[in-house]
Amino acid sequence: MISSDWIYGLIGGLMIGSAAALYLLVSGRIMGASGLLGGLIDGTGRANLAERALFIAGVIGAPLIYGALFGFPETNLTTNLALLVIGGLVVGVGTRMANGCTSGHGVCGISRFSLRGIVATFAYLFAGFATMAVLRPWLGVV
Amino acid sequence: MRLVISMAAGLLFGLGLTVSGMTDTAKVQGWLDLFGNWDPTLAFVLGGAILPMLLAWRIADRRETAVLGTPIPARSEPVIDRKLLAGSALFGFGWALVGLCPGPAMAVLGYGGTGAIIFFAAMATGMFGYGRIAT
């Protein structure tokens, strides 16, 4: 890790938390990426479709503005088609089954001391650590 | 007003993901690589994100409604069921395979090339498919 990385992590984290705080206090919504997107995809979020779509447009748009100004950051995304497809499918199914991901359960859940949020976060972290420990040689980790 | 706030929250979330390095799959996989070349950045991101939300919940949980009149979301029943555990385990597995969770998967969509589009399409298919089975 380059020594300044944690500072950017902290600043970016504060931005993520501020976005969630804004959405909660003004709009009364939980800022969960998988819930906002999933509801748009499976039709359960029909009641506030435009809100969801604009939120997602913002998430996609902000990095484009940032990239145009300061250059695009590296994604180091794998080019392995099987990993991309299986990983994407499993993340999609898993986050909808668990009703949340890193933003909903992690950021919004833990900060409310929600039991479900805390347990979910432990579960996906544990699964992530275990997967990495076993499959690391095949994942092309930099 | 609702639409403006949604867009603003999305923009700030997307900016935070970019600045924090969470759109870099090497950093995320490095965080999960606990027994290898471990990268602690994600702990600072999660910690930084929780701080403003601790304050926000202190305010929100004392109120009935948000500024725009929507009820503050009810606390979830503290029920740990198989869906929560199995779903989270599946998510953690896929998260480690590629290094993207749903927020960053959207954030890299505009500039991450074909790989980003394939991952997003697969994730959306998974979400749609699960919605079909579950309802």
Neighbours of A128 (CB within 10 A): 27
Q: Which of A30, A80, A81, A102 to mutate to test the interface with B (most CBs of B within 10 A)?
A: A102
Reported ipTM: 0.96
CB contact under 8 A, A126 and B92: yes
pLDDT digit string (tens) for A21-50?
Answer: 999 999 999 999 999 999 999 999 999 999
**Rama region for A99: left / alpha / beta (φ>0; ψ in -120 to 50; rest):** left
Whether residue A64 has pLDDT greater than 60: yes
CB contact under 8 A, A66 and B15: yes
Residues of chain B falling short of pLDDT 50: none
For residue A99, the model assigns a pLDDT of 96
| Bridge partners, A72 (sequence order) | none
Handedness of CA A33, B106, A39, B69 (dihedral sign): positive
What's the whole-model pTM score? 0.96
Distance CA B59, CA A102 (A): 22
pLDDT digit string (tens) for A76-116?
Answer: 999 999 999 999 999 999 999 999 999 999 999 999 999 99
- B115 in contact with A, Cβ within 8 Å: yes
* Structure-block tokens of residue B93: 């597995």
